[in-house]
Amino acid sequence: MFKRLQRALLFPAQDRIPACRAGSDVPGLERWTLVTDEGPIEAWWLPALSGSGPRPAIFFAHGNGELIDDWPHPMQSFRERGFHVLLAEYRGYGRSEGQASEAKVRQDFVRLYDRMQARPDVDPSACVLMGRSLGGGAVCQVYRERGAFALVLMSTFTSVVDLASHLYRLPARFVVDPFDSAAVLRSKPGRVLHLHGRRDELVPFAHAEALAAITGGPLLAEEGGHNDCPLDWRRFVDSVVEYVGPPGA
C-alpha cells in the first residue's frame, strides 16, 4: 500500500487524459511502440526539419504531470535548428500501459534510446539527453547506462530522497524510487547544462545549485517557478544550441 501511494504521487498518470487524435497536426511525426511485459508504451519521433545526413538527436523526458502530447510544438524550435527529437512516454501515461517505476523507466528509456541511436539518420556521437523535473531524473538513469554527448536538466531534483525529505519529511529508507541524479553525475562526469527557476515552489533552486556544483556545468537561473521555466522558450533553445553546438558544426 505504501509503495503504491508513493508511485501514485511520483507518477500521477491518472491526472491527465490524452486528447483524441493527439499529434495528428504535427508534421513528420512517427509513432513508435515499445512492447513491454505490461503492454505497449508509446514514443513520438519528430525528425529534423532542416539539414541532411546523420543529425544530432534530443531524447526528451517530460515532467510527471505532463504527456508527450504537450511537447511537439515547443520542440519545433529544435527541429527547425536541425535536431531530431524523440519524446519518450512513461508506463501508464496517455496511451501507454503499465505502472511506472524507476527500474521500468530506466529499462524502457534505454531501449528507446538504443533504437534512436541506431537510426541511420542519427549521429550517435551527438545525442543529447534532456529532461524536465522527473524527466531530468529519468534521463540521468539513461545516462547511467549509456552516456550522451550532453545532458540538459530542467527544474531537476538531486534525488527523490532529498525532495521527499523537503516536502514530506520522509526518511530515505522509505523511498522506493530514489532517482538519484546526483549520484549518477558524481560517478560519471559529463557535459551538463542546468536550467532552474529561483522561485520554484516544488523543487528548490538549491537542487540545481547542488547539481551544477557536481558537474561544473552552467546554470541558467530564471525568476520563474516550477511550471513556467524557462520564461522565454526561444532564448532557452538558443542557449542549448550554443552549449551543445549547432548541427554539423
Residue 31: inside a domain, yes or no?
Answer: yes
Residues 62-72: tens digit of each pLDDT: 999 999 999 99
Evaluate whether residue 196 is within a structural domain.
Answer: yes
In a domain, 249, yes or no: no
10 Å CB burial of residue 179 (0-12, 13-18, 19+) is buried
- List the domain range (segments joined by +) for residue 148: 2-15+23-244
> Is the pLDDT assigned to residue 56 strictly greater than 60?
yes
Q: For the chain, what percent of residues have pLDDT higher than 70? A: 98
Report the CATH number at residue 184: 3.40.50.1820
Q: In the predicted model, what is the mean pLDDT of residues 73-81?
A: 97
Residue 204 has pLDDT above 80, yes or no: yes
Per-residue cell: 120: 541511420
In total, how many domains does the chain have? 1
The tens digit of pLDDT for each residue in 135-152 reads: 999 999 999 999 999 999
